[in-house]
Amino acid sequence: MDPMPVLRSEKAAWILGCAAIGVLSVGALWLVGWIGVGLLGLAGLIVTSRVDLHGGHAVIDSGHGSGDVASYARQLDEARAAAASPEQKMAAAAEREKRSRTLYLLNTIFIALTALGLGLFALHELP
């Protein structure tokens, strides 16, 4: 049995992502205390905000030579989307809606981690 189709599934990605966040949270709590959990939540918020701002890429210059190339590529994509068929426009809108819902869920989780970590840090560590 080939494990690659299982690893490429969306359910596996969610399970592995949740496990990674859980392990990182426990590690941060063990190493630096509640402030680590709060900082992990803030780091997650930064990543999800960049993904939302840059259309699905957390590192904007990752596949391009310079920052200008990314803006030109975005302009080309917008021009192609304007000339696309109604079915393609509906599919793109559905994909954007799905990404928006996913980012909303992730932001909620990271806001909760931030509030929990920084709140308990203030409660237990500050005089």
Model confidence over 3-15: pLDDT tens digits?
667 667 778 888 8
In angstroms, the CA 36 to CA 27 distance is 9
Using DSSP's 3-state secondary structure scheme, residue 23 falls into helix
> What average pLDDT does the structure give for the chain?
83
What is the average per-residue pLDDT within 19-29? 94
Token couple for 76: 């080309």
In angstroms, the CA 58 to CA 48 distance is 7
List the alpha helices (DSSP H) in 54-85.
Answer: 67-82
Model confidence over 53-79: pLDDT tens digits?
877 666 665 555 555 666 777 777 777
pLDDT value of residue 116: 95
